[in-house]
Amino acid sequence: QVRNEFYKDTQGVILVYDVGQKDSFDALDAWLAEMKQELGPHGNMENVVFVVCANKIDCTKHRSVDESEGRLWAESRGFLYFETSAQTGEGINEMFQTFYSAIIDLCDNGGKRPPSSVGVGFTKEQADAIRRIRNSKDSWDMLGVKPGATRDEVNKAYRKLAVLLHPDKCVAPGSEDAFKAVVNARTALLKNIK
């Protein structure tokens, strides 16, 4: 309950998760929801600098949240993203310096977050498609078609995703892997459809 006192007049938030603990990454949405609730209807999270810190990158053997997944989550919300290790110090100084500078920019801009100098460069539709593909249980789910779909339906779904996620057109983190997964899903499905 003590933390609820700190949400009002917040200028910056550092959201930290352990790259080896998927549940700590999944909890980021709950932290944002709690903050929004505590700020109430008049609170504005658009005027807060958010940094997402993927911590414990020194523990590569046990990593369960890859960089592209974390970066996609952060950047699709307009948040800064850093890979860090509290143990080795990697990325920590850069993260705090960027965080501090962004808060100074916020203050210099009358308490409003200045427009990002680095554009996100991808759409919500692209980010949502990558997340859906990453969490798909099979090739049907990946392409967004029902089992038993026709060749035409599979090809139509594939073309839509291929245009959306092609590496030449999409710079979202994880888009290249998602595009490859879609190509493989189409190939696998078409082998079994007469």
Query: What was the pLDDT predicted at 115?
Result: 60
Query: What was the pLDDT predicted at 18?
Result: 94
Query: What was the pLDDT predicted at 14?
Result: 92
* Regions of the chain short of the pLDDT cut 50: 117-118
What is the C-alpha separation between 151 and 193, in angstroms, rounded? 7
The percent of residues in the chain predicted with pLDDT above 90, rounded, is 21
* DSSP string for residues in 135-183: T-SSHHHHHT--TT--HHHHHHHHHHHHHHH-TTT--STTHHHHHHHHH
Cα dihedral across residues 103, 123, 91, 18: positive or negative:
positive
Query: What was the pLDDT predicted at 77?
Result: 84
Instruction: Give the residue range(s) of CATH 1.10.287.110 domains in the chain.
Output: 124-192
Q: Which residues contact 7 (CB under 8 A, 6 or more apart)?
A: 35, 38, 39, 43
Query: What was the pLDDT predicted at 118?
Result: 46
Residues 104, 35, 5, 27, Cα dihedral to 10°: -110
Query: What was the pLDDT predicted at 120?
Result: 61
| Closest C-alpha among 157, 162, 117, 124 to residue 140 | 157
What does pTM read for this prediction? Answer: 0.68
Q: Which residues contact 94 (CB under 8 A, 6 or more apart)?
A: 82
Instruction: Give the residue range(s) of CATH 3.40.50.300 domains in the chain.
Output: 12-109
Query: What was the pLDDT predicted at 36?
Result: 85
Q: Which residues contact 72 (CB under 8 A, 6 or more apart)?
A: 127, 130, 131, 172, 173, 174
Instruction: Reply yes or no on domain 12-109 having CATH 3.40.50.300.
Output: yes
Contact between residue 81 and residue 52 where contact means Cβ atoms under 8 Å apart:
yes
Query: What was the pLDDT predicted at 66?
Result: 86
For 75, the enclosing helix (H) or strand (E) is helix 67-75
What is the C-alpha separation between 32 and 57, in angstroms, rounded? 23
Query: What was the pLDDT predicted at 52?
Result: 94
What are the angstrom distances between the C-alpha of 40 and each of 27, 35, 79? 20, 9, 21
Contact between residue 46 and residue 52 where contact means Cβ atoms under 8 Å apart:
no
Tokens of 133: 């593909």
Give the architecture-level CATH label for domain 124-192. Orthogonal Bundle (1.10)
